[in-house]
Structure 1
Amino acid sequence: MIQPFRLALALALAWGAAAHAEPLPEGRVRRERPVTVASTAGEPLPMVHIAQDTPTLLLFPAPIQRKSLTFDESRIRVLDAGERSVIVQAVSDLRKDEQQELGVFFADGRAPARAAFSLVTDPAEVDTRIDVQRPALPDSACPTAAQSRVPQPEDFVLLGYVDEMGVTTSEVDTVESSAQGLSSNRSMSFRGKGWVLVDLQVLNGMDRPAWTPREALLVGRVGGPLRARLVNVQGDAIPPGKERRVLVVADTQGLEASASFTLEVRGDGGRSLTIQKVRFPRPAPGEAR
């Protein structure tokens, strides 16, 4: 099976070969060139020349979040989006005074996190291939916290984690300390577009050794357990008598239709925290969440 990146590259080479064999309509010159994305929100967007009769290939230096692509579908057609490439074409040549924005997030989250371009039509030339370049950080070996991009509310919509139904929540029952020496309180479950999440405050017993959560399982009434992704927010062990925040995330595609689940968070020393009757808000009737 041909990988998307290789397929896009093969198409670009084929278009380049065709350019030498066929004259361009209206005398447009085909160009292949590098373009550097803006490093800050205040910088002007780099310009890319597109046309109705010529596809334009954008090759990225790192994997992209294909679901985060934003563009006006009435004016721009995306022919293909791969792991590190996007092929675009104008539905019709853009007007002389018209500019269309195309944007996409990089998958690694490194600054600049989003690549955006101003698409225009030029009667004299068209870009057949754009090698997207990313500005280097001032000190790439040791980035500072100030250089890290803080997630914004719009990111969750652009990445497809929130839709018109928003995010719904439900309370999770408190768990008292048991023989395992672990308890939880102030817990909440969330449901968004395609995902569910349980936000836990886990307390380690005063007389117990430090404990690090390692894995999480959601068990329904039927079928096998669903292994969920566990996020230890502070990234270290929970000391005796201390409380830490732990997030459990699962994809709703692997989640069976069940009224409630048992959540088991396993960790060091064979100790685990078990929470019964974890309920996730149900999607609205007729909505695929």
Structure 2
Amino acid sequence: MLLLLGGTLAQAQPAPTREPRRRSFTLTGSPLEARIGMGIRTYIVFAVSIRGKAVEVDPKRIRVVDTGEKSLIIEPLSEPRPGERWTLRVPLEDGKAPGVAEFSLVAHPSEVDTEIDVERPEESPTACPTCAPCAALSAADAIASGFIDSDGVGTRKFPSFTDAASGLQSRDGVTYRAKTWVLVDVEIITPPGHPAWRPTGATLTSKAGETRVRAVKVEPSKDDSRLVRVLVTTDVPPSSVGLELTLHLNGPEEAPSLSIPHVTLPPAKEPKP
């Protein structure tokens, strides 16, 4: 009787709760990893119009609750097993490449994505035929091209990091802070013998909150196939988020992601009198 009672109590233990997360992705053409949970709705907001009636997903696994001009709500009827990934494809209306936002749906033991923002990468402006670089360059293009250096913006270095599980490494990085944007500039090294690694999206968070990612710029090295430079442009975070954050880079399908801790931002500059 005691053994039976003990087994019953063990079975009655509630499932661990999952922390709801809001994440931002930039379309790159590779699948975007989204964390789902059975019975938990995920609200996906796109920067462009979508073809809601043409969404591709297994209806036996995922219920499409609602579609709007630029939004989609899904609710899993079950969950992927460990290591299993389900596919969600959302056709886009703007006629640009990629024409489909593809998601790789996975289960996570402690987190679930309840809201996802999907942006297109910032477009580089058309080059001026007779003049110097235009002021319309994005922050990532300006930093990568050397048009903006530490003069006029606050900068702060943060240390290298090695992920013991995946072997991915980040070199010492730099954060830039202007009045209206923040940029994280870091190089990632893939372990020897592993295929080239490229992030498909990013989030910048602290324990107190998250800052919205505007764009992710990826620059593979011309000299070393294991090396890639990543430039993540975000909004300026509210003061409540703090100055020490974690940069999470989403890996492509069936590849690991990388979370880089201790990404320190420069403090806001004091306004001039």
Relative to the length of structure 2, the TM-score reads 0.43
Q: Which has the higher contact order (CA 8 A, sep 6+)?
A: 2
Larger Rg: 1
- Structure with the larger helix share: 1
Relative to the length of structure 1, the TM-score reads 0.41
